[in-house]
Structures are given as C-alpha cells and as structure tokens.
Amino acid sequence: MSRRGSGAGKKGKKKSKKLEVTEEQLQEIREAFGVFNPDEDGYIRTSKLHNLLIALSLHLEPAELKELKGELDPDGEGRFGFDEFVVLISDRLNDRDVREEALKSFELFDRKGRGYITIADLRQASRELGQNMAEEELQGMMEIADANQDGRVTKDDFLRILERTHLV
C-alpha cells in the first residue's frame, strides 16, 4: 500500500477546484470526520464514506457515491484524508445549504405547516408582499408548480420548480 498524505501534497492537482466553504461548514466537516476517525490519524476508511455523508445531511445517488469514492481514493488504498474530502465535498455542501434555504422559503408560504401550499396561501403571500396578483396569475403559477394537479404544491414540487429555473 502506498503512503499518502492528508491531501496537502495533492493541491497542485486540485487547482481547478475552487474551495468555497464557510468556517461553520468546515467545523461541521471536522466534527463529522472526527466521529469516523477515532484513531485521529487523519484518515477515514472509504467504506465509511456513506455514513459520513449522511452525518453531513448529504444524500447521494449510488452512482454519485461510487464516483466520489473513486475521486477520494484513486489508488484504491481504502481510505481518504480530511483535506481531500473537504475539497471534493465543498460544492455539495453549498448545494445542501441552498436547498435548506429553499425549504425555509417554502415554509414562509406554508404557514400552517401542512407540507403543501395552496392557491389561498399564494394569494395571502401576494397581498402581504404588496403584489396583489390577479387570480389568473396565481392559477397559472399553481398549474405550473403543482405536478399532479391536486391543488397543492408540495415541497418536492417547490424544489422541482426552483431546480428547473436554476434557483436551486
């Protein structure tokens, strides 16, 4: 097995990847990494990657998980270091935070906490924002966002629209 550092020696290979994590995110990663690194040797077994991601509220599709494992452990050593993990996971953390903000926005419309938005909720929000949108506009918004046309826009519907418009 070849000896590999914590990623510091590989920074040249990662120059195209811009590291954009907040101090809060970095602390969150450190804490989660520490849980899965009881030996404190700076490495986590690749087999623990899925659990680490779940601890960070990151849920990847099996193909994405396999790809990430390959990027973190290209030599097949069965482990990866903290620095490598931070670099490769930073975009996903930022995506997660954007998603969380989108869900908070959803909750502003869904004041009753039902898990869906109705046209009445849109109408009320429109008035409160001083928009006073026409009923036809509100109905059009509902038709676009309501995937199964049951008169309710769910969180999934809401996120789908935001993703389609590249807001998430």
Q: Measuring CA to CA, which residue among 87, 131, 86, 125 is closest to residue 106? A: 125
What pTM did the predictor assign? 0.51
Phi, psi of 80 (to 5 degrees): -145, 155
Report pLDDT for 47: 92
12 vs 160: CA distance, rounded Å? 37
State the amino acid at position 38 in one-letter form: P
Is residue 8 assigned to a domain? no
Is residue 7 assigned to a domain? no
Note the pLDDT tens digit of each residue in 105-161.
888 889 899 999 999 998 988 888 777 788 998 999 899 999 999 999 999 998 888
Specify the residue for token string 């550092």: 5
Is residue 55 assigned to a domain? yes
Look up the CATH number of the domain holding residue 146: 1.10.238.10
DSSP lists the bridge partners of residue 81 as 43
Domain extent at residue 130: 110-164
Domain count, the chain: 2
The length of the chain in residues reads 168
Q: Measuring CA to CA, which residue among 59, 58, 52 is closest to residue 33? A: 52
Q: Are residues 88 and 138 in the same domain?
A: no
Note the pLDDT tens digit of each residue in 79-91.
999 999 998 888 7
Q: Which of 94, 127, 149 delimits the end of a domain?
A: 94
Q: Which of 94, 123, 140 delimits the end of a domain?
A: 94
Is residue 100 assigned to a domain? no
